[in-house]
Amino acid sequence: MHITMIGAGYVGLVSGACLAEFGHDVVVLDKDPAKIEALLGGRIPIYEPGLEKLVAENVRDGRLDFTTDLNHAVSRAEAVFLAVGTPTRRGDGHADLSYVFAAAEEVARAVTGPVVLVTKSTVPVGTGAKLREIVRRIRPELAIEIASNPEFLREGNAIGDFMRPDRVVIGVDSERAEAVLKRLYRPLFLIETPVVATAVETAEMIKYAANAFLAMKITFINEVADLCEKVGADVHDVARGIGLDGRIGRKFLHPGPGYGGSCFPKDTLAFARTGQDYGSPMRLVETTVAVNETRKEAMAGRIIAACGGSVAAKTIAVLGLTFKPETDDMRDAPSLTVMPLLAAAGAQLAAFDPAGTEVARPLLPAGVRYAENPLDAASGADALVLLTEWNEFRALSADRLKTAMRGDVVLDLRNVWDPAVMREAGFRYHSIGRP
């Protein structure tokens, strides 16, 4: 099939490369000439394991191309995917759909034959209906059908999630649109991937409901962890005890400093606003948003308390800046809340992240020292904070950390280290939800 992907960001680039791997001819379009030039030169603008190799192989085999020319991009397209940004709209918390609507208008003017216009971006319910109005107004004579195909990609594991998904959701209002999307995903039918075919509005709701539920699950176990600390219970045993219940499941029951990233923060907020607009408030989601923001701020207070009530003139080493491992994404990362609060309290900050340093640098306080490796970050530090659970941090020697540091305070906000080992090395060790 001939497919066009509008937007060479995280979702568009991963989805386009994976669809090319399925055997389709894919053109990825973006308005940023520098980004397209980089991609044509084999340079990937984001960090995602396996993506550089996947893109290179499909470009080499002639199935994947990049362009800024919309007319060229859609000239043979059977389906055009909108994978543009839907950031939080400033001032009200709603998803900003201006990029989606602008892209739809441009596509409607450029296409020359029947096409299925598919939203890959995360959009609130009702967006498909508005897109239908837009394309009918611009091209009433042309069969442009609207569909929704939300993505469920985890950063750091996006290729695996696309190639071996839990399910594929397609929202359609016609047999033709359904047939096009099912043909597109035929390689997944062969491995018996469940396909959920719904109305467009239902598909839009599925995406928001899924993200909101996972965000609530994270926030729930974070609050349980706080109570565990008060009563002497171990949150990991609690999580295992409830996660083995098939009705609950084990995933997303890992306590930490709060969720971040490109999806959960903006999607929970937009979902809550949608409920308010329709007079059906999502009170659990609203509370989840509020509790998560408060938690990030509370982590700075926890660090200050562990340092004796003050971090003034103390050096704090921070390991991990991105919102999760195996990505360079800094969007709504806990570090963006915690580190400025520590700096405001007088701390001197040193930091190391395996992939996110260059993205983080302009977003964090100006005085942060960026280290070459974890031990360099820890050198001379009065306290060490682990914010992101990169695998390489798990193997750090407690004794070598102790030798590098000036102080003995460690705050493991992801519970990656063994408390007994850290205490035996001489640390005053603090973790989340463990006695």
Map tokens 């047939």 to a residue.
Answer: 179
| Annotated binding-site residue? 155 | yes
**By residue range, what is the domain housing residue 35?**
2-198
Rg for the chain, CA atoms, rounded:
23
| Annotated binding-site residue? 86 | yes
Same domain, 141 and 22: yes
Residue 67 predicted with pLDDT over 90: yes
State the Cα–Cα distance between residues 361 and 352, nearest whole angstrom.
11
Residues 151, 154, 155, CA angle at the centre, nearest 5°? 115
Looking at per-residue pLDDT, the higher value among 114 and 89 belongs to 114
| Annotated binding-site residue? 393 | no
Same domain, 315 and 383: yes
Structural domain includes residue 203: no
| Annotated binding-site residue? 419 | no
Structural domain includes residue 79: yes
Domains in the chain, number: 3
State the Cα–Cα distance between residues 345 and 310, nearest whole angstrom.
8
Percent of the chain topping pLDDT 90: 98
State the Cα–Cα distance between residues 152 and 134, nearest whole angstrom.
27
Structural domain includes residue 143: yes
Structural domain includes residue 320: yes
Calculate mean pLDDT across residues 226-234.
Answer: 97
Q: What is the pLDDT of residue 412?
A: 98
Same domain, 14 and 140: yes
pTM of the model: 0.93
Runs of H (alpha helix) within 307-433: 335-344, 357-360, 374-378, 391-394, 398-404, 419-424
State the Cα–Cα distance between residues 235 and 209, nearest whole angstrom.
26
| Annotated binding-site residue? 271 | no
Of the residues 18, 228, 263, 307, only one is catalytic, namely 263
| Annotated binding-site residue? 154 | yes
Confidence of residue 435 (pLDDT cuts 50, 70, 90): confident
Residue 90 predicted with pLDDT over 90: no
Residues near 96 by beta carbon (within 8 Å), at least 6 away in sequence: 85, 86, 87, 88, 89, 90
State the Cα–Cα distance between residues 178 and 175, nearest whole angstrom.
5
Final residue belonging to a domain, choices 262, 289, 316: 289
| Annotated binding-site residue? 388 | no
CB 398 within 8 A of CB 374: no
Q: What is the pLDDT of residue 92?
A: 84
Same domain, 270 and 146: no
Residue 160 predicted with pLDDT over 90: yes
Final residue belonging to a domain, choices 147, 178, 198: 198
Structural domain includes residue 435: no
Confidence of residue 155 (pLDDT cuts 50, 70, 90): very high
CB 19 within 8 A of CB 9: no
Same domain, 424 and 317: yes
CATH number at residue 333: 3.40.50.720
Calculate mean pLDDT across residues 223-241.
Answer: 97
Structural domain includes residue 259: yes
Structural domain includes residue 415: yes
Which has the closest alpha carbon to 254: 287, 217, 303, 294?
A: 217
Structural domain includes residue 351: yes
298-343 pLDDT tens trace: 999 999 999 999 999 999 999 999 999 999 999 999 999 999 999 9
Same domain, 261 and 333: no
Calculate mean pLDDT across residues 132-145.
Answer: 96
Same domain, 127 and 151: yes
> Among this protein's residues, is 263 annotated catalytic?
yes
- SS3 assignment, position 79: strand
User: How many CB atoms are located within 10 Å of the residue 130 CB?
Assistant: 14
CATH number at residue 262: 1.10.1040.10
Same domain, 423 and 301: yes
Report the first-to-last Cα separation within the chain, whole angstroms: 57
Residues 155, 412, 409, CA angle at the centre, nearest 5°? 145
| Annotated binding-site residue? 207 | yes
| Annotated binding-site residue? 94 | no
Residue 350 predicted with pLDDT over 90: yes
* Diameter over CA atoms, the chain: 75
| Annotated binding-site residue? 254 | yes
375-408 pLDDT tens trace: 999 999 999 999 999 999 999 999 999 999 999 9
Element housing 187 (H / E): helix 186-189
Runs of H (alpha helix) within 32-174: 33-40, 51-60, 70-74, 98-110, 127-138, 158-163
Same domain, 264 and 302: no
Final residue belonging to a domain, choices 198, 233, 267: 198
Same domain, 50 and 179: yes
Same domain, 163 and 31: yes
Mean pLDDT for all residues in the chain: 96
Element housing 25 (H / E): strand 25-29
Same domain, 250 and 303: no
244-302 pLDDT tens trace: 999 999 999 999 999 999 899 999 999 999 999 999 999 999 999 999 999 999 999 99
